[in-house]
Amino acid sequence: MTSVWVDEASNLLAGAALRIALGSGFLRLTLRSEPPGPAPVGTVPTMTWRPRPRPGVLDFVLALALTLASQTEIWAPQLVPGVGEVVGSRPVLAVTTLGMTLPLVLRRALPIGVLVAVFGSATVQDWLTTPTEGLPTLAALLVAAYSSSAYSVPARAPASAAVLVVAVAALGRSSGDAAFMAVVFGSAWLTGLVVGQRSGQLLRVSATTATSRSDSPRRPPSSRRRNGASPRARRLRPPASSPA
Protein backbone atom coordinates (compact mmCIF):
# COMPACT_ATOMS: atom_id res chain seq x y z
CA MET A 1 0.00 0.00 0.00
CA THR A 2 2.86 2.37 0.79
CA SER A 3 4.50 1.77 -2.59
CA VAL A 4 1.20 2.57 -4.34
CA TRP A 5 0.95 5.89 -2.50
CA VAL A 6 4.54 6.72 -3.40
CA ASP A 7 3.91 5.96 -7.09
CA GLU A 8 0.77 8.11 -7.14
CA ALA A 9 2.55 11.01 -5.43
CA SER A 10 5.48 10.83 -7.85
CA ASN A 11 3.10 10.82 -10.83
CA LEU A 12 1.25 13.87 -9.48
CA LEU A 13 4.51 15.76 -8.91
CA ALA A 14 5.80 14.89 -12.39
CA GLY A 15 2.54 16.05 -13.98
CA ALA A 16 2.57 19.31 -12.04
CA ALA A 17 6.18 19.99 -13.01
CA LEU A 18 5.38 19.31 -16.67
CA ARG A 19 2.38 21.69 -16.62
CA ILE A 20 4.45 24.42 -14.96
CA ALA A 21 7.26 24.04 -17.50
CA LEU A 22 4.89 24.14 -20.46
CA GLY A 23 2.84 27.01 -19.05
CA SER A 24 5.90 29.17 -18.38
CA GLY A 25 7.21 28.69 -21.89
CA PHE A 26 10.48 27.13 -20.70
CA LEU A 27 9.67 23.96 -22.64
CA ARG A 28 7.77 23.66 -25.90
CA LEU A 29 6.02 20.45 -26.89
CA THR A 30 5.63 19.44 -30.52
CA LEU A 31 3.45 16.47 -31.47
CA ARG A 32 4.43 14.69 -34.67
CA SER A 33 1.52 13.44 -36.71
CA GLU A 34 1.30 9.69 -37.31
CA PRO A 35 0.23 7.98 -40.57
CA PRO A 36 -3.49 7.19 -40.85
CA GLY A 37 -4.65 3.92 -39.43
CA PRO A 38 -5.19 2.41 -36.02
CA ALA A 39 -2.26 3.03 -33.71
CA PRO A 40 -0.79 0.10 -31.78
CA VAL A 41 -1.95 -0.28 -28.24
CA GLY A 42 0.27 1.46 -25.73
CA THR A 43 1.92 3.89 -28.16
CA VAL A 44 2.15 7.64 -27.56
CA PRO A 45 2.85 10.53 -29.99
CA THR A 46 6.47 11.45 -30.56
CA MET A 47 7.50 14.44 -28.44
CA THR A 48 10.23 16.96 -29.28
CA TRP A 49 11.53 19.38 -26.66
CA ARG A 50 12.60 22.77 -27.99
CA PRO A 51 14.72 25.09 -25.82
CA ARG A 52 14.38 28.84 -25.81
CA PRO A 53 15.81 30.59 -28.89
CA ARG A 54 19.31 31.91 -28.49
CA PRO A 55 20.27 35.52 -29.25
CA GLY A 56 21.12 36.02 -32.89
CA VAL A 57 23.53 38.31 -34.68
CA LEU A 58 20.71 40.78 -35.40
CA ASP A 59 19.98 41.07 -31.66
CA PHE A 60 23.60 41.92 -30.86
CA VAL A 61 23.83 44.43 -33.72
CA LEU A 62 20.57 46.12 -32.71
CA ALA A 63 21.54 46.41 -29.04
CA LEU A 64 25.01 47.68 -29.89
CA ALA A 65 23.73 50.27 -32.38
CA LEU A 66 21.14 51.65 -29.97
CA THR A 67 23.70 51.71 -27.14
CA LEU A 68 26.24 53.69 -29.16
CA ALA A 69 23.62 56.11 -30.47
CA SER A 70 22.07 56.77 -27.06
CA GLN A 71 25.42 57.22 -25.33
CA THR A 72 26.52 59.64 -28.05
CA GLU A 73 23.41 61.74 -27.42
CA ILE A 74 24.32 61.91 -23.72
CA TRP A 75 28.07 62.58 -23.86
CA ALA A 76 28.40 64.36 -27.23
CA PRO A 77 25.03 65.81 -28.24
CA GLN A 78 26.67 68.24 -30.64
CA LEU A 79 27.55 65.30 -32.90
CA VAL A 80 23.91 64.27 -33.30
CA PRO A 81 21.76 66.58 -35.43
CA GLY A 82 18.50 67.69 -33.88
CA VAL A 83 19.52 66.93 -30.28
CA GLY A 84 19.63 69.77 -27.77
CA GLU A 85 21.80 70.26 -24.72
CA VAL A 86 21.62 67.63 -21.99
CA VAL A 87 19.80 68.96 -18.91
CA GLY A 88 19.81 65.95 -16.59
CA SER A 89 22.64 64.16 -14.82
CA ARG A 90 24.82 62.49 -17.42
CA PRO A 91 26.03 59.59 -15.21
CA VAL A 92 22.45 58.73 -14.26
CA LEU A 93 21.33 59.04 -17.86
CA ALA A 94 24.19 56.84 -19.05
CA VAL A 95 23.53 54.04 -16.56
CA THR A 96 19.75 53.99 -17.00
CA THR A 97 20.07 54.17 -20.77
CA LEU A 98 22.33 51.11 -20.72
CA GLY A 99 19.53 49.35 -18.86
CA MET A 100 17.23 50.21 -21.75
CA THR A 101 19.45 49.13 -24.65
CA LEU A 102 21.67 46.24 -23.53
CA PRO A 103 18.82 43.88 -22.45
CA LEU A 104 17.56 43.87 -26.05
CA VAL A 105 20.10 41.14 -26.76
CA LEU A 106 17.76 38.72 -24.94
CA ARG A 107 14.54 39.99 -26.49
CA ARG A 108 13.85 36.62 -28.16
CA ALA A 109 14.88 34.39 -25.24
CA LEU A 110 13.32 36.42 -22.39
CA PRO A 111 10.81 38.80 -24.00
CA ILE A 112 8.82 39.67 -20.87
CA GLY A 113 11.96 40.00 -18.75
CA VAL A 114 13.41 42.40 -21.32
CA LEU A 115 10.16 44.37 -21.29
CA VAL A 116 10.36 44.76 -17.52
CA ALA A 117 14.06 45.74 -17.64
CA VAL A 118 13.70 48.30 -20.45
CA PHE A 119 10.57 50.05 -19.18
CA GLY A 120 11.77 49.78 -15.59
CA SER A 121 15.00 51.58 -16.50
CA ALA A 122 13.01 54.24 -18.35
CA THR A 123 10.81 54.76 -15.30
CA VAL A 124 13.80 55.07 -12.95
CA GLN A 125 15.42 57.54 -15.35
CA ASP A 126 12.26 59.63 -15.45
CA TRP A 127 12.09 59.69 -11.63
CA LEU A 128 15.76 60.53 -11.00
CA THR A 129 16.61 63.03 -13.73
CA THR A 130 15.42 64.72 -16.91
CA PRO A 131 15.52 62.25 -19.81
CA THR A 132 16.88 63.13 -23.23
CA GLU A 133 14.25 63.25 -25.93
CA GLY A 134 16.20 61.14 -28.39
CA LEU A 135 15.18 58.51 -30.91
CA PRO A 136 17.43 55.64 -29.68
CA THR A 137 15.65 55.32 -26.33
CA LEU A 138 12.25 55.53 -28.03
CA ALA A 139 13.35 52.80 -30.46
CA ALA A 140 14.47 50.62 -27.54
CA LEU A 141 11.05 50.97 -25.90
CA LEU A 142 9.25 50.13 -29.14
CA VAL A 143 11.43 47.06 -29.77
CA ALA A 144 10.84 45.82 -26.22
CA ALA A 145 7.07 46.26 -26.55
CA TYR A 146 7.04 44.49 -29.92
CA SER A 147 9.22 41.58 -28.76
CA SER A 148 7.18 41.01 -25.59
CA SER A 149 4.24 39.77 -27.68
CA ALA A 150 6.00 38.51 -30.81
CA TYR A 151 8.31 36.04 -29.05
CA SER A 152 6.17 35.03 -26.06
CA VAL A 153 3.92 32.01 -25.95
CA PRO A 154 0.25 32.96 -26.48
CA ALA A 155 -0.60 32.11 -22.88
CA ARG A 156 1.75 34.83 -21.62
CA ALA A 157 0.53 37.60 -23.91
CA PRO A 158 -1.86 39.00 -21.24
CA ALA A 159 1.06 39.19 -18.79
CA SER A 160 3.13 41.27 -21.20
CA ALA A 161 0.13 43.52 -21.87
CA ALA A 162 -0.36 44.06 -18.13
CA VAL A 163 3.32 44.96 -17.67
CA LEU A 164 3.06 47.43 -20.56
CA VAL A 165 -0.04 49.09 -19.08
CA VAL A 166 1.66 49.53 -15.70
CA ALA A 167 4.79 50.94 -17.34
CA VAL A 168 2.80 53.46 -19.40
CA ALA A 169 0.93 54.56 -16.29
CA ALA A 170 4.22 55.07 -14.46
CA LEU A 171 5.85 56.98 -17.32
CA GLY A 172 2.91 59.24 -18.17
CA ARG A 173 3.21 62.53 -16.34
CA SER A 174 -0.23 63.59 -17.52
CA SER A 175 -3.28 61.93 -18.96
CA GLY A 176 -2.39 63.21 -22.43
CA ASP A 177 1.14 61.77 -22.28
CA ALA A 178 -0.16 58.45 -20.97
CA ALA A 179 -2.77 58.24 -23.75
CA PHE A 180 -0.18 59.02 -26.42
CA MET A 181 2.28 56.42 -25.09
CA ALA A 182 -0.52 53.86 -24.78
CA VAL A 183 -1.34 54.32 -28.48
CA VAL A 184 2.30 54.15 -29.62
CA PHE A 185 3.50 51.26 -27.47
CA GLY A 186 0.16 49.46 -27.71
CA SER A 187 0.42 49.52 -31.50
CA ALA A 188 3.91 47.99 -31.28
CA TRP A 189 2.64 45.30 -28.91
CA LEU A 190 -0.35 44.49 -31.14
CA THR A 191 1.87 44.29 -34.22
CA GLY A 192 4.16 41.85 -32.46
CA LEU A 193 1.19 39.72 -31.40
CA VAL A 194 -0.10 39.46 -34.99
CA VAL A 195 3.35 38.71 -36.39
CA GLY A 196 4.01 36.09 -33.73
CA GLN A 197 0.74 34.29 -34.46
CA ARG A 198 1.39 34.34 -38.20
CA SER A 199 4.90 32.98 -37.71
CA GLY A 200 3.57 30.22 -35.48
CA GLN A 201 0.99 29.24 -38.10
CA LEU A 202 3.63 29.11 -40.83
CA LEU A 203 5.90 26.97 -38.67
CA ARG A 204 3.07 24.56 -37.93
CA VAL A 205 2.14 24.30 -41.62
CA SER A 206 5.74 23.70 -42.68
CA ALA A 207 6.23 21.10 -39.95
CA THR A 208 3.03 19.30 -40.97
CA THR A 209 4.08 19.32 -44.63
CA ALA A 210 7.54 17.96 -43.84
CA THR A 211 6.08 15.26 -41.61
CA SER A 212 3.53 14.19 -44.22
CA ARG A 213 6.26 13.93 -46.83
CA SER A 214 8.47 11.84 -44.58
CA ASP A 215 5.56 9.56 -43.63
CA SER A 216 4.26 9.04 -47.19
CA PRO A 217 5.19 5.61 -48.68
CA ARG A 218 7.73 5.56 -51.47
CA ARG A 219 6.67 4.50 -54.93
CA PRO A 220 7.96 1.11 -56.08
CA PRO A 221 10.44 1.13 -58.96
CA SER A 222 9.04 0.93 -62.47
CA SER A 223 8.10 -2.51 -63.67
CA ARG A 224 9.73 -1.83 -66.99
CA ARG A 225 13.08 -1.19 -65.36
CA ARG A 226 12.62 -4.24 -63.16
CA ASN A 227 11.63 -6.62 -65.95
CA GLY A 228 14.26 -5.67 -68.46
CA ALA A 229 15.93 -2.92 -70.41
CA SER A 230 14.28 0.36 -71.22
CA PRO A 231 12.51 0.91 -74.57
CA ARG A 232 15.40 3.08 -75.79
CA ALA A 233 17.86 0.27 -75.05
CA ARG A 234 15.64 -2.21 -76.91
CA ARG A 235 15.62 0.01 -80.01
CA LEU A 236 19.40 0.22 -80.01
CA ARG A 237 19.83 -3.56 -79.91
CA PRO A 238 20.41 -5.24 -83.27
CA PRO A 239 17.55 -7.50 -84.45
CA ALA A 240 17.97 -11.19 -83.78
CA SER A 241 18.92 -13.19 -86.88
CA SER A 242 16.29 -15.64 -88.07
CA PRO A 243 17.28 -19.30 -88.41
CA ALA A 244 18.29 -20.43 -91.93
What pLDDT is recorded for position 45?
A: 44
Q: Which residues are within 8 A (CB) of 77 and not within 5 positions of it... i.e. 6 or more apart? A: 83, 84, 85, 86, 132
Q: What is the pTM for the complete model shown?
A: 0.66
pLDDT at 136 over 70: yes
- For residue 205, the model assigns a pLDDT of 62
Exposure string for 42-66, b = 16+ CB within 10 A, e = fewer: eeeeeeeeeeeeeeeeebeebbeeb
Q: Residue 29: which H helix or E strand, with range?
A: strand 28-31
| Range with the poorest average pLDDT among 27-41, 140-154, 189-203, 228-242 | 27-41
Q: What is the pLDDT of residue 109?
A: 93
Higher pLDDT, 23 or 112: 112
Q: What is the pLDDT of residues 53-108, one digit of tens each?
A: 788 999 999 999 999 999 999 999 999 888 888 999 999 999 999 999 999 999 99
Judged by DSSP in three states, 233 sits in helix
Helix (H, G, I), strand (E, B) or coil at 11: helix
> Positive or negative, the Cα torsion across 168, 170, 171, 176?
positive
pLDDT at 198: 84
Q: Who has greater pLDDT, 215 or 61?
A: 61
Q: Which of 17-26, 81-90, 213-222 has the lowest mean pLDDT?
A: 17-26
Distance CA 190, CA 183 (A): 10
| Orientation angle between helical segments 175-215 and 157-171, nearest 10 degrees | 160
* Percentage, residues of the chain above pLDDT 90: 48
Quick one: average pLDDT of 114-137?
95
